[in-house]
Structure 1
Amino acid sequence: MGIGATAGVAAVGGIALTAQASSESSDTSGGSGASSSDALVFDTDAYTTLTTTITDADGAEHDVEYRFYKAITYVSKPVDETYQSLNVSVPVKIDGTAVDATDAPILFANSVGGYMPSSVADATGVGGGGTTGMPGGGAASSSASPSASASSGSGSGTGSGSGEVASGGNGMVNGQGEMVSLPKLALAAGYVVVEPGARGRTLKNSSGEYYGVAPAAIVDLKAAVRYVRFNKGRIPGNVDRIVSSGTSAGGALSSLLGASGDSPLYDKYLKAIGAADASDAIFATGAWCPITDLEHADGAYEWNWGSNATSSGSQVDQTVSKELRSQFAEYQASLRLRGLGGFGALTARNYDAYLVEQYMEPSATKYLAALSDADRTSYLAANTFITWSGGKAAFSWADFLTHVGARKKSTPAFDAFDLSAGENNLFGKGTTQARHFTLYSLRHESGSSARLDSDLPETLRLMNPMPFLVEKANPKRTKHWWIRLGTKDSDTSHTVSANLAAAANGLGDEVSHLYYWDEGHGANSDPGDFIKWIARISGHKAKRK
């Protein structure tokens, strides 16, 4: 079946699905649109041999020869093949030496940004896919919210939500301002790389129905994992060592993928698109600045950034901000989480001390220790709120907030009163582009008797990793977590990733959670360490033929 063909309309759980017409073609991408699992058998011969030079995180160049399998449809009843397809890259030679990737870990790198559609169909090689917001079998809405067109996580400051557009290897930037491609780094390390596309919130069919709204993106990524596992022995790599990665909304989805492995809550959605009969559990999760826990994100944002002015220098409505902060306090207490490092119970009253002690001061200390004496002296002179003593940085939470400066978003940051946030679009339904998904915002606009649409509680649960870690621990969750974000990232609250880390740590999972000092949204200052972490937790040792 050709990429992008669409026909027919169905609905599952209130979400419009555009079913593919069943037809055969000479396309060797692996998807035929048939209901049989035969359509999901990976074609081991449908590759192109490519060569590229990849610079690793230490600055060394490597000549890599690899097999590139392009735009393979990963479900048998696709809604839109432009997005429901994946690329596979398998290393063959590194620096002229043949490598055996049969048992190598698999990096499962999504490039979702802003919960927008992500396609790998036009990629010409590894790390070259993941463009978002592209019209495919359906078209991106022409009336999309401001955040749908924002670039690189800039947001609009008006409740813009997760507004970045990511492309090419997760859209990350290192400490030197250079783009980071985890797929390329993984390939140069001898890993197999899978880059999946996924539907996103702006996709709209000819009937005006939004078919990429929640939970489409996570359903697609689960289906892509199932495709890889179903093809064990055909797709090279160890399917029991799949490591997910993603940034911002992609980081949220990566977290959710790890937390919700094999949950039956997704079964009807996976069945509707013809997902393979296989596990969708993954081995490890890499998440950078995850925009997640959305139904509680407004309160968390105000707790963190409520006192900070906007870029225009004005304060947000403090009545609204305080009400939302109160909601956060109740929610945080309900989680009953304990901080890393033996900190104790995490509450709204002590979370500022926890963030400073566990993350912010160690982050500043690492940054300052790496500077030359002259540069450190200059930095400290320009940032007098930091006390530097005994090789350690110390400061208050209030001074840290002043240092960060303007908040990125207005209030509410995610469920905007005027429905302008990307998340309002994410929870759209049918021909309705955007909906309120919190009672607070809904009742602010529609009165105290208003009720959320009946489908929203289930949909919200399907989009949030926290219930799978806190309410009842999912035994099939990943047990390895790599979580990162910048200290100056005000696209969401710092408590969001810290809660995620605390929840996983409380279950006994391995958690590596750090903040990058003075970095913003989409930062990735230690990509080489992530690649080494994969090797360590997976027990991988490169095999030379």
Structure 2
Amino acid sequence: MSKKKWIFTASAALLASAVILTACSTTSKDSSSTKETTTVQTSKLSTGDVTTTLDKVDNTKWLYNADDKVYYQIGISYAATPTDADQQTLSIFVPEAYMTAKDNGDGTYTCEVNPKGTVGNYTAESAPIVIPINTPGYSAMSALTAYSSDAATYTNEGFIYVSAGLRGRDSGAPGGVTDAKAAIRYIRYTADEIAGSTDSIFVYGMSGGGAQSAIIGSSGDSALYDDYLTEIGAVTGVSDAVAGVMAWCPVTSLDTADMAYEWNLGSSRTDLSEDEQTISDGLAEAYAEYINSLGLKDSDGNTLKLEKSDTGIYQAGSYYDYIKETIESSLNTFLANTTFPYDGSSTSSGGGMMGGGMPSGGMNISGLLSSIDSTKLQELIDAAGLDMDASQISTYSEDQIKELMSKIDISSLMGGAGPSGQAPSGAPSGQAPSGAPSGTESSEEATTSIEDVDNIQRTETTSSLDLTGTYNSAQEYIDALNAESEWVTYDEKTNTATITSVADFVKYLKPASKALAAFDALDKSQGENQLFGVDGTSIHWDSYVAEAAKGTDYEDDFATDLETTDSLGTDLTTRINMYSPLYYLASTSDGANSSNVASYWRIRTGINQGDTALSTEVNLALALENYGIEDVDFATVWGYGHTEAEITGNASENFIDWVNESLENSSK
């Protein structure tokens, strides 16, 4: 029997048949309805019910890195019948202290778990397991194929670091999340052979990686994935739920993302055709109907609603007020944490721009390089005199990638913008909040430049304000915000500000950076068009956009595409549900209480980003709280765009501190 157990918030009826329930459970009131949610403690696995042909980790094949004092294995298959045997593997990195090793004399070691080994506050049995989900634009992620010092960021803290290869959007949803679930199941299956607590698995990522992390965290053990997990030969009889999720700027809730985008950012669109304006307005109105049916509640138990307004589309009501207060809170947190004089270029509001430093282990540069036109990339490689094959980039080691990135300039292949996570974090000391991304001048004249990374198209600079100056006081900064019109009111005595409207904030700091429709593009050019396609094709998939497009030239194309089913015969509605956290969290959803939801959540978003509506992350945080999750740490970060936004400090360090704090509190 496995020596591990795990705890998740869930309905007891969902637990896998292979798990024996203990008699001990506690209940808590769900703030979103009258139903009860149950925290169920699951006991040891019945190994007779675990089904797989996969071998457990071979403890005679460990490798060792003496510099970082880490034992590791690479290329471990987590799928018995993989669709991509090279991609569907994982690598494990373990602190030396957790292992008792014998040198085999051939560069490998035979290791056993040392139960007395400790690193910091952790033992080999209590150490958390962290899994990065590095999938910008829902792209593929390759497992590490050689030792990476990125792992030491976490092993030095006593964590177990697992790098898992995941299929990308060209394999179609739900490939990426299915693979992550299979990898998590394998870790539990082989838990008695490796160090680490399977009670304490945390996933983390940014953008599309943050989105898939949120899906993994909300859909634990969902039956919707069963056929897909069976198809690749995942281990059965073990859970694929996780304990915690860290998501930076998660581009998620795709089921309603186009509606949310038009309701939140559509007011900033200009020069739309008559058909396009009809679609934009129709989506914004449909979003109000959706919100009013969702039943989200604030911390006081008040149901949040949208109401018709004299200006704009449903820009009134308690839900609108909640969004407006979120923006004001973000600005006021910025004012409270910023020392003046302040250099505005350190946090220039980047709209939809990407930048900042990914948490160590969080970059997927090889995946990003793989998304670039291989012919053009090969030309740069050849010109640099490097002996590399662009078509094999995803298999290269970290050192090879670093060498490549040091000798070629790939910005010309990406609309002049560097890859997500490439720019280093860190603002001038004593000025902007630590960890702020380097800024660039924001000018209305610069809106024609387009960034296309992982097939996600954004206007590179979108704000009409230039906030790159040095401000000697908070009042000077507020004056800069009000340069074109007065939309921010500032009280110097309390150092707090209010705004006139959400629309004004959008106009000046968060204008639309994606064409209509933001996720189901009318020309099928966005990454999500491929994500919900079949065999790498791009299709229309959003039924709300289809409804808004009725009577336009786009109507017939949408109607045809929405009938698409994948190779397992699954329709689009089901596949979209599988990629929508609120399907599992919202009390009004058919998927409510059908999964094991993670207990710990930390969500950070750059409030200025144009990649998704602000309501995306707000709704996720509210839905988690309404579901009964007590540990939801959510914040928006003023001045940031689409990046690993942090109010203060470093993203990696903050993530590590949060994991430690979550586990420390859970033990009290």
TM-score using structure 1 length: 0.73
C-alpha contact (below 8 Å) 2:90/2:183 kept by paired residues: yes
Cα deviation digits, residues 362-417 of structure 1 (max 9, x gap): 22222222222333434233223433320223223233213315421011111111
The answer for the alignment partner of 1:298 in structure 2 is 258
Alignment coverage as a number of residue pairs: 426
The answer for the alignment partner of 1:74 in structure 2 is 78
Q: Is 1:111 matched up with 2:236?
A: no
Q: Helix, strand or coil: the match of 2:255? A: helix
C-alpha contact (below 8 Å) 2:305/2:320 kept by paired residues: no
Give the letter aligned to residue 422 of structure 1: G
Counterparts of 1:449 and 1:114 in 2: how far apart (Å)? Answer: 22
Range with greater deviation from structure 2 (382-391 or 266-275): 382-391
Change beyond 3 A, Cα 1:368–1:540 = closer
Range with greater deviation from structure 2 (437-446 or 100-109): 437-446
Counterparts of 2:78 and 2:51 in 1: how far apart (Å)? Answer: 13
TM-superposed deviation, 1:221: 0.7
Larger Rg: 2
The answer for the alignment partner of 1:137 in structure 2 is none
C-alpha contact (below 8 Å) 2:265/2:510 kept by paired residues: no
The answer for the alignment partner of 1:520 in structure 2 is 641
Cα deviation digits, residues 133-168 of structure 1 (max 9, x gap): xxxxxxxxxxxxxxxxxxxxxxxxxxxxxxxxxxxx
Match of 1:469 among 550, 565, 585: 585
The answer for the alignment partner of 2:57 in structure 1 is 42
The answer for the alignment partner of 2:478 in structure 1 is 380
Q: Helix, strand or coil: the match of 1:68? A: strand
Counterparts of 1:495 and 1:483 in 2: how far apart (Å)? Answer: 13
The answer for the alignment partner of 1:65 in structure 2 is 69
Change beyond 3 A, Cα 1:485–1:343 = farther
The answer for the alignment partner of 2:420 in structure 1 is none
Q: Helix, strand or coil: the match of 1:292? A: coil
The answer for the alignment partner of 1:176 in structure 2 is none
Change beyond 3 A, Cα 1:103–1:491 = same
Change beyond 3 A, Cα 1:279–1:126 = farther
| Structure 1 residues without counterparts, runs of 5 or longer | 1-34, 53-63, 128-182, 203-211
Give the letter aligned to residue 373 of structure 1: F
Alignment of 1:318-357 (within 5 A): 318-340=277-299, 344-347=303-306, 349-350=316-317, 351-357=319-325
Range with greater deviation from structure 2 (283-292 or 435-444): 435-444
Q: Is 1:272 matched up with 2:231?
A: yes
Range with greater deviation from structure 2 (523-532 or 250-259): 523-532
The answer for the alignment partner of 2:576 in structure 1 is 460
Change beyond 3 A, Cα 1:392–1:342 = farther
Q: Is 1:404 matched up with 2:516?
A: no
Change beyond 3 A, Cα 1:235–1:403 = farther
Counterparts of 2:575 and 2:555 in 1: how far apart (Å)? Answer: 21
Change beyond 3 A, Cα 1:184–1:330 = farther
The answer for the alignment partner of 1:427 in structure 2 is 532
TM-superposed deviation, 1:519: 0.5
Give the letter aligned to residue 280 of structure 1: D
Match of 2:205 among 246, 261, 276: 246
TM-superposed deviation, 1:538: 1.7
Cα deviation digits, residues 61-116 of structure 1 (max 9, x gap): xxx4212222222111111123211121112269xx96343311111211111111
Alignment of 1:480-519 (within 5 A): 480-509=600-629, 510-519=631-640
Q: Helix, strand or coil: the match of 1:114? A: helix
The answer for the alignment partner of 1:447 in structure 2 is 556
C-alpha contact (below 8 Å) 1:298/1:414 kept by paired residues: yes
The answer for the alignment partner of 1:201 in structure 2 is 169
Counterparts of 1:508 and 1:51 in 2: how far apart (Å)? Answer: 45
Counterparts of 2:616 and 2:90 in 1: how far apart (Å)? Answer: 29
Give the letter aligned to residue 539 of structure 1: E
| Structure 2 residues without counterparts, runs of 5 or longer | 1-49, 99-116, 307-313, 343-472, 566-570
C-alpha contact (below 8 Å) 2:133/2:204 kept by paired residues: yes
Counterparts of 2:289 and 2:603 in 1: how far apart (Å)? Answer: 25
Give the letter aligned to residue 156 of structure 2: A
TM-superposed deviation, 1:465: 1.4
C-alpha contact (below 8 Å) 1:82/1:121 kept by paired residues: no
Counterparts of 2:258 and 2:304 in 1: how far apart (Å)? Answer: 22
The answer for the alignment partner of 1:437 in structure 2 is 541
Counterparts of 2:558 and 2:515 in 1: how far apart (Å)? Answer: 25
The answer for the alignment partner of 1:478 in structure 2 is 598
Range with greater deviation from structure 2 (187-196 or 343-352): 343-352
